[in-house]
Amino acid sequence: MGQHEFERLQQRLAQAEQDVSQLQYLSMSSVFYTHAELNEPWGVSLPSIPDSTMFHLLLAGQAIVEVGDQRVALEGGDFILLPKGKGHALLDSQRSPAQDLLSLPLEPVSDHYERLKLSGDGAYSAALCGTVIFRSRISQAMLESMPDLVLLSTQSPYYNTVRQAIELIRAELLQEQYATSAVVARLADIVILQSIRAWVEQAVTEPQRFFDAHADPRLAQVMNLIHQHPEHSLSIECLANSAAMSRTAFINHFKKVVGMPPRQYVSEWRLNLARNLLQSRTDTIAQVAESVGYQSEAAFSRAFKDKFGYPPSQNRR
């Protein structure tokens, strides 16, 4: 990394540090990394880890991530976050079987860093994979509200900070005798925080308001319902019941904490989520529309164009 890039990263880290102190909700206890070098054919199955977040930075080549019935194709440079630490598969293609990670020849480098090499005859790929364990109940609840997968493409304004912070983590971990857990944990804070901030932009409101809503005992369940089940009706009555509040009291409290009325938040959340799904999945426009709560593709297309200024068909990756 050149001096200019390092100075730019320092500036970004300073901003991120302000965010960390401002958004006092992330509290990490452990960080583990695997540097994988893979030649086709290959497939790795990673187990579910409670109270964790996992991520993969594809350094070279191509890959597919599968979580349940979701499938996302990665290109070199893409970064994907799995906020809930769900079990998943990382594959070179849908045709390749996935081998259990713990059955593969992992080479320990340090207490928190290991290498994996799978040597086939095909094309080369490389990835830096990480697992972060959380101890804060608030951070766990907030991450539970997020989707199973969050893709951070090279076009994201947060991408460079994430990429450079991960490169610094890798460099730090390679210094076996001198690596410090405090440095690695701090850099991991920045990686996760910036990834979450990229996703929070979909949530329409300011990041601080978003986190405040998840810390609010009356709104935390409401936010989880909106984010986890956008396909539901999500009427004001339904949301107010979830908060155990009257309709009027709920609307006023939601607007005070989140910064906008609940109906507006739901609408904008659905459309921002749909835009992300169109970029990262192979579902049809009609399937995406249904998955975010629209009864017809036509109504969804009109709302999408009204918000973004172009039709959903132009939003494919």
Handedness of CA 152, 153, 159, 162 (dihedral sign): positive
Residue 88's beta-bridge partner residues?
46
70-75 long-range contacts, CB within 8 A, separation 24+: 70/148, 70/149, 70/281, 71/281, 71/282, 72/149, 72/151, 72/280, 72/281, 74/151
Give the C-alpha separation, 200 to 253, whole Å: 20
pLDDT in tens, the chain (317 residues): 555 655 555 555 454 444 444 344 555 667 788 889 999 999 999 999 877 889 898 888 999 999 988 888 998 888 898 988 899 999 998 888 899 998 999 988 777 788 899 988 899 999 988 888 876 655 666 677 677 888 877 777 778 888 888 778 777 766 755 555 567 666 766 777 777 777 766 555 666 777 788 778 899 889 888 887 899 989 999 999 999 999 999 999 999 998 899 999 999 889 988 887 887 667 889 999 999 999 999 999 999 999 889 999 887 65
What region, left, alpha or beta, does residue 124 occupy, with left being phi > 0 and alpha being psi -120 to 50 degrees?
beta
DSSP three-state, residue 127: strand
* Element holding 74 (H helix, E strand): strand 70-75
Give the C-alpha separation, 34 to 107, whole Å: 9
Closest CA relative to residue 29, chosen from 185, 179, 166 = 185
Give the C-alpha separation, 287 to 308, whole Å: 19
Handedness of CA 229, 230, 232, 233 (dihedral sign): positive
Residue 293 pLDDT = 93
Domains of the chain and any CATH numbers: 3-201 (2.60.120.280), 207-315 (1.10.10.60)
Task: Report residue 109 as tokens.
Answer: 């480098």
Closest CA relative to residue 5, chosen from 53, 104, 13, 47 = 13
Residue 298 phi, psi (nearest 5):
-65, -45
Report how far Cα 202 is from the mean position of its chain's Cα atoms: 12
Q: Are 142 and 219 in contact (CB under 8 A)?
A: no
Give the residue ranges of DSSP H helices in 259-313. 262-280, 285-291, 297-308
Radius of gyration (C-alpha) of the chain in whole angstroms: 20
DSSP one-letter code for 135: -
Give the C-alpha separation, 222 to 282, whole Å: 29
Task: Report residue 215 as tokens.
Answer: 């810390």
Q: How far is CA 235 from CA 28, 223, 241, 263, 298, in A?
A: 36, 13, 10, 8, 21
Report how far Cα 115 is from the mean position of its chain's Cα atoms: 24
- Residue in the block written with tokens 């918000």: 307
